[in-house]
Structure 1
């Protein structure tokens, strides 16, 4: 069964996480930088997992995480925070994120976290 990952990030996919490798591992990936239209994109793509970049210009990942979790159709979908920096003053779990990926991350790390969070 193919699992779907929606990545909200203003950058590109990490070089070590190509779409071909995701496909080989039974994942389909949609990368977007459009936080304003994330809900319509999500409804169309129907992801099994979200990966949200913590610091995107013009977007607050905490608010986006809440928007996802407040919707009945998405509240069961895990959300992973993607960040290059860890801020001690922030309680990431309290913000609603299920896990954290530190940039740069690689395919195996994403797959391991996804398989641990996504229901089979």
Structure 2
């Protein structure tokens, strides 16, 4: 299946996402430090990035904006996930391919991932 990079600073959430995505037969790498994002993209060549908005040192929305602005990474679909209230999410422009609110249904996660991979 596809290579998926998960960017999530909460170890518990990262483990659950890793488990769910590997059960769907995807190859999954997880990082908990946004500073490692560019290096991991260069090494792993993900076909999809699943990223939390609320990261320790930065905002996933800004990281997403930077990735979409770069010729090198603009083609990679990005699924932003968050526990924020929906009204708070859009206070910063969103260029992600999809946003999902936590907690989410794992069947919905699978459908969303498959949809994003099919359109990339």
Unaligned runs of 5+ in 2: none
User: Which residues of structure 1 form unaligned runs of 5+?
Assistant: none
Compute the displacement of 1:68 (Å): 1.2
1:119 aligns with 2:118: yes
Q: Which residue of 2 aligns with 1:52?
A: 51
**1:27-82 deviation digits (Å, cap 9, x = unpaired):** 11111112112111111111111111111121121221122112222111111111
Change (3 A) 1:33 1:23: closer
Determine the C-alpha separation between the residues in 2 that align with 1:4 and 1:109. 19
- Larger helix proportion of the pair: 2
TM-aligned CA deviation for residue 10 of structure 1: 0.6
Q: Provide the C-alpha distance between the structure 1 equivalents of 2:105 and 2:29, rounded to a whole number of angstroms.
A: 16
After superposition, where does 1:59-74 map in structure 2 within 5 Å? 59-74=58-73
Partner residue, 2:7: 8
Q: Structure 1-normalised TM-score? A: 0.81
Contact conserved, 1:17 with 1:106, CA < 8 A, in 2?
Answer: no
Alignment RMSD: 2.4
Q: How many residues align?
A: 118
